[in-house]
Structure formats: C-alpha cells, structure tokens
Structure 1
Amino acid sequence: MKLTAQQLKDFDELGYLFMPECFNPEEVALLKQEAGDVLSQQRPEIWREKNGAPRTAFAAHTYNEACGILASHKRLVEPLQQLFGEDVYVHQFKINAKAAFTGEVWQWHQDFPTWQADDGMPDARAMNIAVFLDDVMPINGPLMLVPRSHKSGALKSEHDLETTSYPLWTLDNQTVTDLVEKNGIVTPTGKAGGVLMFHANLVHGSSGNITPYPRRIVYLTLNAVSNAIQKPTRPEFIAHRDFTPVHAGSDEALTDYVKQQRKAA
C-alpha cells in the first residue's frame, strides 16, 4: 500500500497519518481473537498493570502466527519503506491492552528518546504504526497527539520508573504545556481496523480507561535497516537484535489465514 502525495504532505506537516478502516471486519475479528489468546498467557513477554491486568504483550509475532503475518503485512510495511526510502526491520512488536476499567495512563513522551537511550538507536528513522483492534473512542483512553511537535526534534526527557509498570523516558509538564499551547491536541478515533502512523518524535500520551470498553492496539515498530540499534540494554523481546529486512507479504495474508483455519476446523 503506497501513500498518496497528499498523505505524504500531511504526514510531513503534522507528524501523523490516520487511515480509517484499513483492515476489514473479518481481519479485525481474527486479530482480536488472537490478541485475546496472547494476553491470556503467562509468559515473561507480557507485562502487567500494578493491579495485574495485562498492559503490554511484547514480541507476539514470534509466538502467534496471526501476529507474525501482521508484522509483515503489506499495508503496514510498504508505507514505511516508502517514507524511509529503504528496507525496514521489526524493532518492536507489542499489543497494548488498555483494559476496561483498569487501563493505566501512558505518560507524555516521544518514542525516539526511549529507543535512543535504552536501545542505542542512532537516529529517528523508526516509527510506530498502530492497528486498532477495538473501537477507539473519545472516552476509552485514546492516544492523544500534539501535531507538529515532531518538528522540535528529540526533547529532553527524564526516566520515569514509578508512574506505571512500564519504564518510560517522559517529558516534563512545562514542555508539554508549551507545545500544546502552540499546536493543540488531537485524538484520532475510529472503528477497529483503523491504522495510525506517527513520527518517532511526535509527542503523545493517553489517559487511563475507566469505561467498560477495552482499547487494544497493536504497535508495530519498524526501523530503517541502516539505523539498526547499537547498544541495546533491554531484553531481546523488547528491542530485537535481528535486523533482517521485512519483506511485505500478500495483501490477502490474513484472509488466507482465516480460510486455512476454517478448513482445519
């Protein structure tokens, strides 16, 4: 899937791009089912909220076939190859499960400072591309973005080890206030199957979820091969050391998997 000239222009200006209903209901149903299976497991790759609810399932593409298909899906890989002008590899794959009633906040941050400090990533030539597995609404902890904040480059961040169960390099309140006063806040919302991609230096965060509606999102982080990490400090399942380029799979890969599963049943 190639981005249009207008989409490329919008991304350059705003730092993000939202593509509603990128995956169809059948594909979404499969991914929701598989995500539920992953999040129900007890394994070191699955980190939990302080109350025990699943928060993040790392590297699911290595132990779940459907997630493995998604990690090389044409609709996710090709736009990043186009933007970076070179091959990409999977730096990180995770399912963020902002559970109903109990999902905790994600503090204001940029992604690149964490990747740089914890993984030794040279430049901001990696990007998150997110797939909505549930309807993302204004009420269930949607991702909040500060448009154009990527143009400020990598900002000073402090390592927050206390707010949540996930250590993160975060921004101070004054920095966020100044950026928001200048650029505002947007909350891309939409039905399950939507895809959101945003620049590694775009400031973002999300509030807790106290509604009955879960907000599960798959985050595929693809990094330019020339920008491979150099000094990883986190486990391999968080920051991958396999820099093999991802080859975009078939656009029908998830649909074909569903058909195979039905035949086998």
Structure 2
Amino acid sequence: MQLSAEQIRQFHEEGWLFLPETFSPEEIAVLRAEAEAIYAADRPEIWREKSGAPRTAFAAHTYNEAFRLLGAHPRLVRPVEQIFGESLYMHQFKINAKAAFTGDVWQWHQDYGTWARDDGMPEPRAMNISVFLDEVMPINGPLMLIPRSQQHGTLDAGHDLSTTSYPLWTLDEATVTKLVQEGGIVSPTGKPGGVLLFHGNLVHGSAPNITPYPRKIVYLTLNAVSNHIRRPTRPEWIAHQDFTPIEPVADDALLDYARRWKQAAE
C-alpha cells in the first residue's frame, strides 16, 4: 500500500493520517479474539489498571502468530517506509485496552518524549501506527490529537508515576491549553480495521471509558533503523533491542491465517 502525495502532505502538515477500514472484518475478528486471550493470560508483558482490568499488552508479536503477521504487514510497514525513506524495525508493539466501564485515562503526552528520555532514541524518526480492533466512537475514550503540535518539537514534560498504573512523561495544563488554542482537538473515529498514523511528537491523550463499549487498539511503533535506540532503560519487551529491518509478509498472509483459524474453530 502506498500513500498518495496528498496523504503525505497531510501527515507532514497536520501530524496524523487516518486510513479507514484498511483491514477486513475477517482479519480483525482473529486479532480481536487473540487479544482477549492474551489479556486473560498471566504474563509480565501485560499491564493492568489499578482496577485489575487490562491496560496494555506488550510484545504480542513475539509470541502470537496473528500479531506477528500484523507486525510485518505491508499495509502498515510500507507507508511508514515511504515517509521515512528507509527500512524500519519494531521499537515497541502493544495492544491497548480501554476496557468497558473501567478503561482509564491516558494523560496528554508526546510519544517521542518517552522514547528519547527512557530509551535514548536520537530523533523523532519513529511513529505509532495503530489498528482499531473495536469500533472507536466519540463516547468510548477515543484518542484525542492536537493537530500540528508536532511542529513545536519535543516539549518539557514531567514524569507522572501516580495517576495511572503506567508511568508516563506528561505535559502540563498550560502547555496543552496553548497548543489546543492554536490547533484544536480532533478525535479520529471509525470501524474496526481503521488505521491511524501519527507523528512521534504529536501531542495526544484519551479520556476514561465509562461506556459498555470496549476500545482495543494495536500500536506498532516503527522506527527508522538508523535511528535505533542508544540507551535503553526499560525491559526488552517494552523497548526492543533487535534492530533487524522488518521484512513485510505477503498482503494476504493475515487473511490466510484468519481463514485457517476460523476453520479450526468450527
């Protein structure tokens, strides 16, 4: 899959790009089922809310075949290669669960702020590319983005260790207010299978989910190989230290797996 010149222009200007229904219902069905099975497991890679509900599951592509195929899928890898102009490796892979009724807040932050401070990533030549596993609606804690905020570079942040179960480098209210006055807030929503790309310095966050509708999203953090991390402080399953370039699988690899999975379940 290749991005058009207009899509690349939008990404560089606004800092984000949404590609609706990039994956089929068959592909998403197996990913959703596998995600639920992972959340039910007792593994160190699975972080939970203070309530005990799943918050995020790291590195599923290293032990689950469906997510391995997703992590090397050309519909995700090729557009980022196109933007960065070089090969990529997987810096981080996570399945975020904004559980029904109990999904907690993600405070306002920039992803690159964490990658630089905690992992020693030299430049913001990495980005998150996300896949909606559930329908993302205005009411169930969608991601909120501040357009064009990436143009301000890496902002000062404080290390919040107490608001949620997950430590995060967060921005203060005055900074967020100023950025919102300049760029507003957008919340990309859509059906399962939608794909969202956003710049590593784009300011974003999400509110708690108090609805009966879960909101699971897979995030691949794809980093330019030349920009590999230099000073990792976090476990390898959070910030990967294998900088081997990703070799994309065939475009129908996940669909073939989903069909075999469905047949086995019947």
Question: 1-side partners of 2:264 and 2:163: how far apart?
Answer: 45
| SS in structure 2 at match of 1:249 | coil
Paired residues of 2:30 and 2:261 also in contact (CA < 8 A) = no
Q: Which residue of 1 aligns with 2:176?
A: 176
Distance change in 2, residues 1:262/1:32 (3 Å)? closer
Distance change in 2, residues 1:108/1:247 (3 Å)? same
The alpha carbon displacement at 1:186 in A equals 0.3
Report whether the alignment pairs 1:191 with 2:202. Answer: no
Question: 1-side partners of 2:105 and 2:238: how far apart?
Answer: 20
Return the letter of the residue paired with 2:4.
T
Alpha-carbon displacement from aligned partner over 1:32-74 (angstroms, at most 9, x marks no partner) = 1111111111110000000111100000011111000000000
| SS in structure 1 at match of 2:205 | strand
| SS in structure 2 at match of 1:185 | coil
Question: 2-side partners of 1:197 and 1:129: how far apart?
Answer: 4
Q: Which residue of 2 aligns with 1:112?
A: 112
Q: Which residue of 2 aligns with 1:50?
A: 50
Q: Which residue of 2 aligns with 1:67?
A: 67
Paired residues of 2:57 and 2:96 also in contact (CA < 8 A) = yes
Question: 2-side partners of 1:137 and 1:105: how far apart?
Answer: 16
The alpha carbon displacement at 1:249 in A equals 1.2
The alpha carbon displacement at 1:262 in A equals 4.6
Q: Which structure 2 segments of 5+ residues have no match?
A: none
| SS in structure 2 at match of 1:83 | helix
The alpha carbon displacement at 1:248 in A equals 1.2
Percent pairwise identity: 68
Paired residues of 2:133 and 2:216 also in contact (CA < 8 A) = yes
Distance change in 2, residues 1:31/1:226 (3 Å)? same
Alpha-carbon displacement from aligned partner over 1:87-135 (angstroms, at most 9, x marks no partner) = 0000000000000000000000000010000000000000000000000
Distance change in 2, residues 1:107/1:262 (3 Å)? closer
The alpha carbon displacement at 1:258 in A equals 2.0
Return the letter of the residue paired with 1:21.
E
In the TM superposition, 1:184-263 aligns within 5 A as 184-262=184-262
Q: How many residues align?
A: 265
Question: 1-side partners of 2:113 and 2:99: how far apart?
Answer: 26
* TM-score after normalising by structure 1: 0.99
Return the letter of the residue paired with 2:125.
R
The alpha carbon displacement at 1:263 in A equals 5.3
| SS in structure 2 at match of 1:169 | strand
Question: 1-side partners of 2:261 and 2:165: how far apart?
Answer: 36
Paired residues of 2:26 and 2:259 also in contact (CA < 8 A) = no
Structure 1 runs of 4+ with >4 Å offset:
262-265
Once the two structures are overlaid, the 10-residue window that deviates more, 39-48 or 252-261, is 252-261
| SS in structure 1 at match of 2:156 | coil
| SS in structure 2 at match of 1:190 | coil
| SS in structure 1 at match of 2:238 | coil
